[in-house]
Amino acid sequence: MILPEYNETDFMQAVINAAPTPIFYKDAQGRYLGCNKAFEEYIGLNREQLIGKSVLELFDDELARTYFEADNALFERKGTQIYEAKVEYADGTTHDVMFHKAYFHAEGIEGIVGSILDITERKKAEESLEQLALSDSLTGLDNRYSLMKSLKHSLLRQHRENFTLAFLMLDLDGFKQINDNYGHPVGDALLIEVANKLKNHFRESDVIARVGGDEFSVILENIHSTESLIVLANNILAEFLKPFVIDNNKFTIGISIGIATSSFSECSSEDIIKHADAALYQVKNSGKGSYHLTVVN
């Protein structure tokens, strides 16, 4: 087979122009030697505007410095480089991308060649899956797994910053009868309303979780006084005296609250959960619909 004659430079440019992924190459001083059409669209400049220019001349200072330092690190190692970054496209939208770059030395020229892979949709999917793994599918609150991760992190922060931490366990009173008598759809709607009511009583920084059928837990950092927790508990109890309206039916359920606080840095997750559970058990044994507060010593 006889291959037709062609200009190698034009041929290679046509090949990389056909690639949908942005491709670029630079010299040892970081100046652009060339790129493909996809890179022109990504950066919002044509090849004539790019060639001979460095990132320091083309991008804002912060972004240019990031690119420049990454390129220098690659030149020093003379190998390959793969990393993720957030970048702003020419149309003003921000994308998650992965850079694949490599050092080259050909015909007396040193440089780097790179491609940019848009991974925005992949990152969104990963974040969505992570959110599903950490959330209660019914209420949208944190789940037990997420709560335990957050509690460990809170206790580590307490160790560093020396603040008082509170852990609440809340159990609905009379929910089972409603669920049994009116069915799970009504029960589920009621749990969603309960979650919404609870969110109204806590700070955005507090972690609220549904840890079982009708069981909830809350982590509160930086508690200033025991009195503030008592006020909070009484406000929640008063809120649950009001009826819930589901499908034009009114339901009244109570809530029991066990509270454990810790002010010392050696408290473990097991310790504070055990104390909150014991406090809740005491409320349940004393007629429900109240709270009990205990201190982890």
Which residues are the active-site residues? 214
Q: Which helix (H) or strand (E) holds 22?
A: none
Task: Measure the N-to-C terminal CA separation of the chain; round to a whole number of Å.
Answer: 87
Distance CA 138, CA 211 (A): 12
Here the tokens at position 65 are 């410095």
Here the tokens at position 279 are 């406090």
Distance CA 263, CA 68 (A): 47
Classify 134 as helix, strand or coil: helix
Q: Which of 107, 42, 112, 109 is nearest to 74 (CA)?
A: 112
Q: Which of 279, 198, 209, 208 is nearest to 240 (CA)?
A: 198
Distance CA 162, CA 165 (A): 9
- Find out whether 83 and 98 touch, Cβ atoms under 8 Å: yes
Residues 6+ apart with CB under 8 A from 51: 31, 32, 33, 34
Beta strands in 80-200 (DSSP E): 80-88, 94-106, 109-118, 165-173
Residues 6+ apart with CB under 8 A from 204: none
Angle at 142 between CA 138 and CA 146, to 5 degrees: 135
Here the tokens at position 29 are 């001083």
